[in-house]
Amino acid sequence: MIMSFLWGGSKPSKVEGIALDEIKWLQTSLQQGMGYVDLLESNSEALKSAVESQTYTTQKLQQEWRSCNLKNVLTNKGTQTEETSNSEDIGCSGDAGSWERFPDEDHQSSDMHDENTESAVDPPPKQQDLQEYPDNILVKLLVNNQTVLMNQAIVNQKAVQNSTQWLQNLQQQVGTWFSENFESSLNEQEKKYKSLEDEKNQLSKTCKDLEEEKNRLIKNCKEHQLEKDQLSKKCKKLEEENTQLIKKCKELEEGKKEIERLKKDNDRLSSEINYMKNPAMTSSYSGRYRYSSYNPVQQNKPVTTQVYCPRKSELTTNVVSELSSTLQLQMLSWNLELVMQMCDMPSQISRSLPVIVICLNASRLGTDVSSALQGVPAGPNVAVLIFHHKDLHALPSQSSDRVLTGPEYKHVGAIIDMAYLTTKGMYSCEMNNKALETLIEFIKTHSHL
């Protein structure tokens, strides 16, 4: 009832639970005190019953004592008993009021007991022990027992009163505790409960905001997913376009290679046309063709020649291209297919194959040749081809192999002069005719044919 009144049937908090535990402990203490009081009351009732039984026995013995013959008793019990009975007759004159003296005589002995302590009660004498005593002594013992029981009953009654007073004080303390502490604790708990309610409302608002933020993020995720799908489609489309472009690039590369091949064929055919237009070279070519073992039906044998150009430019590129076409055409008369292998660095030059070092005479002859041969492994398979970028009337009258007589040139296999102009190319002259014949013999010699 108290719990439902205080909290109105709602679930108590942690602090309120501690207060409930204290109330339960107080209730348990009250119940134990009430049990103790009940036990004392039952003991008191038992003592009262014992006192009433003892009183009844005493009265019965008094009646028997009045009816007995005192003289017969004194005769049977002897002289010692007679003296004892005479002393007793002085205290007991046979009146009803004389029997009340025995309690008064023993009242002083009973006052020696502490009222606040429980006095031990001597056990009543057995039937055989009672027969050994005279009747007047038996009556006295019974009266003493009655007095002790009455004193014990008084002690128990006082203990009951003390327990009842203790219970009343405990109830007053509980009421005081409720009035002083529990109300303030309850108010404090109500404040905490209100604070928790405010916090709960704040958390509810925060949860609502988080839920809205979650929905917004979900919406954004859906939009991003849609954009991702669109981008994936675009990427797939771009990949397909890239694949097509790669395919077209490959086709263009193949077309470029085909164009280069056609360009080489064109250059070769142009060189053939120019060669055929030159009467001197045509006669030389016809003579060699006529006296050689050339057979157009026979398969040509491949011959590899290395070409190294230290200074690369548009001029040297054109020179090497026209030289390759002319040499390839000349080598066909010997059923040989010339393969020109370009070397970008001196370390790529092989000693087992003939090598042609391209040198442009732009300044002093010795300086240009030394610069061209720098890093090239010297040997008989090395031929220095010196291009003079001059017209026919300005060509040197003395060959370069006679000018370059230094010891650094003795290990070179051949030093050959050729004429070249940007507008004419490798034009027809005695220097170029002699240079072609020398190069062909040099290639054939060092290719081990």
The DSSP secondary structure of 39-74, one letter per residue, reads HHHHHHHHHHHHHHHHHHHHHHHHHHHHHS-HHHHH
- Which of 43-52, 64-73, 137-146, 403-412 is the most confident on average? 403-412
At residue 287, the pLDDT reads 38
First to last CA, the chain: 129
| Distance separating alpha carbons of residues 371 and 16, to the nearest angstrom | 107
Reduce the DSSP state of residue 106 to 3 states and report it: helix
At residue 275, the pLDDT reads 60
Burial class for 342, CB neighbours closer than 10 Å (0-12, 13-18, 19+)? exposed
CB 343 within 8 A of CB 355: yes
Higher pLDDT, 433 or 32: 433
What's the rounded mean pLDDT across residues 242-248?
Answer: 91
Q: How many angstroms separate the Cα of 49 from the Cα of each of 122, 143, 144?
A: 16, 15, 16
| Distance separating alpha carbons of residues 19 and 188, to the nearest angstrom | 13
371's tokens? 């610069």
CB 387 within 8 A of CB 420: yes
| Distance separating alpha carbons of residues 438 and 422, to the nearest angstrom | 23
At residue 246, the pLDDT reads 92
> What is the DSSP pairing of strand 355-360 with strand 379-388?
parallel
CB 12 within 8 A of CB 24: no
pLDDT digits (tens, 9 = 90+) for 274-303: 666 655 444 444 434 333 444 444 567 889
| Distance separating alpha carbons of residues 342 and 309, to the nearest angstrom | 8
Higher pLDDT, 99 or 303: 303
Higher pLDDT, 394 or 6: 394
Residue 202 has pLDDT above 90, yes or no: yes
Q: Which pLDDT band, with edges at 50, 70 and 90, does 415 fall under? A: very high
Residue 119 has pLDDT above 70, yes or no: no
pTM confidence score: 0.38
Query: For residue 274, which of 331, 319, 329 has the smallest C-alpha distance?
Result: 329
**In the predicted model, what is the mean pLDDT of the chain?**
75
Number of H helices, E strands in the chain: 13, 5
Helices of type H across 178-297: 183-277, 279-291
Per the DSSP assignment, residues forming a β-bridge with 425 are 421
What's the rounded mean pLDDT across residues 402-423?
Answer: 88
326's tokens? 């002319």
Residue 99 has pLDDT above 70, yes or no: no
| Helix 14-67 / helix 183-277 crossing angle, nearest 10 deg | 150
217's tokens? 């993020």
| Distance separating alpha carbons of residues 427 and 423, to the nearest angstrom | 9
At residue 185, the pLDDT reads 75
What's the rounded mean pLDDT across residues 254-281?
Answer: 72
pLDDT digits (tens, 9 = 90+) for 313-344: 888 888 998 898 888 888 887 888 888 899 98
Domain 298-446, second-level architecture: 3-Layer(aba) Sandwich (3.40)
41's tokens? 């009351």
Q: Give residues with Cβ within 8 angstroms of 350, minimum separation 6.
A: 306
Share of the chain above pLDDT 90, in %: 22
Share of the chain above pLDDT 70, in %: 69
Residue 8 has pLDDT above 70, yes or no: no
The full length of the chain comes to 449
| Distance separating alpha carbons of residues 172 and 166, to the nearest angstrom | 10
What's the rounded mean pLDDT across residues 245-249?
Answer: 91
What's the rounded mean pLDDT across residues 341-349?
Answer: 90
CB 54 within 8 A of CB 46: no
Residue 107 has pLDDT above 80, yes or no: no
Q: Give residues with Cβ within 8 angstroms of 298, minimum separation 6.
A: 335
Eight-class DSSP state of 180: I
Eight-class DSSP state of 116: T
| Distance separating alpha carbons of residues 389 and 422, to the nearest angstrom | 8
| Distance separating alpha carbons of residues 360 and 314, to the nearest angstrom | 12
**Which stretch of 1-10, 55-64, 104-113, 118-127 has the lowest confidence by average pLDDT?**
104-113
Query: For residue 437, which of 284, 302, 295 has the smallest C-alpha distance?
Result: 284
Higher pLDDT, 349 or 71: 349
